[in-house]
Amino acid sequence: MPRLTRRQSLAAGASLPLATFAPTLARAEAPMLGAGLAPYRRIPLGAFEVTTLLVNTMVVPDPQSIFGMNVSATAFAEASTENFLSPDESRFFFTPTVVNTGAELVLFDTGQSAEGTTAALAAAGYTPEQIDIVVLTHMHGDHIGGMQTGGAPTFANARYVTGRVEYDAWAAAGDEGFNTNVRPFADRMTFLDDGQDAASGITALAAFGHTPGHMTYRLESEGAGLLIFADLANHPVWSLARPDWEVRFDMDKAAAAASRRAVLGMLAAERLPAIGYHMPFPALGFVDTRDGGFQWVPEAGQLMG
């Protein structure tokens, strides 16, 4: 077979129709899709499976109107810039958790709306009808907003669990959100005190202050443990590095700060993994001590099993 010279090869290439290269050109035109996050993350915990659900995320301006209400703007800005944060705005995350114990499917908090929570459940492979227990860590609207869909229970087959102190405080206050979203389930509600179990291997632990009866929940299975700390700390820096800073949504600010120090100190001492409802998704991590406060150490594959 005769061999082509270099000049002949170049000439042949130049004569090819433009359509020959069209697939390459078309691939280069794929649209930008914008930032995105997977809506769930699942890990093993002993014989349990633990799944965090991203049901919403938003950017909020003027974060010092929420965190650090008792410090100067200069102190807030310094703590922010030290940790690569803008003092002018902050992104917030909303993350319910599903725990499959092997016997029951337990949902911790219901998000701001049923739509967001059921969509994240579906992405994770669950249906609302599969939920056996709904645990309410406390009664703020972004935790109870998904209890109903069109006036009917979102989780039709579930029983409900919450802290006794928390329920009684909100029932006495006559709060509209509580009356709409939670009070209708009173006859299906189990009320827990500190140290009682929501299900086998899931224990309620008092961490009052954010709300009158705010609870955390400790999971234990086959020697593995994890703490769902809900709204004990609402930001990985402004709540952990500065646990004594006042937070607008903490109803008893002194009690909330004391609970933060106690629980975060326990997590650091025990090196126990944790899930925080408002921690950056997937909301899984560890707590360590740092400069008189604490730091959030995001999970980096250690919990994948």
Query: What is the pTM (predicted TM-score) of this model?
Result: 0.90
Report the 10 Å Cβ neighbour count for 154.
23
Model pLDDT, residue 36: 85
39 contacts 117 by C-beta, under 8 angstroms: no
The stretches in the chain having pLDDT less than 50 are 10, 16, 18-19, 21
Joined tokens for residue 260: 């933060």
Model pLDDT, residue 34: 87
How far apart, in Å, are the Cα atoms of 144 and each of 35, 102, 119? 28, 25, 16
**How far is 92 from 19, CA to CA, in rounded Å?**
48
**How far is 296 from 274, CA to CA, in rounded Å?**
10
Model pLDDT, residue 10: 45
What domains can be seen in the chain, in order of their start residue? 40-298 (3.60.15.10)
Strands annotated E in 127-214: 133-136, 148-149, 152-153, 159-163, 189-192, 197-199, 202-206
Report the Cα–Cα distance between both ends of the chain, in Å, rounded. Answer: 59
Joined tokens for residue 234: 């609402």
Nearest partner of 162 among 129, 132, 196, judged by Cα:
196
Model pLDDT, residue 253: 98
* Local structure of residue 188 (DSSP, 8 states): G
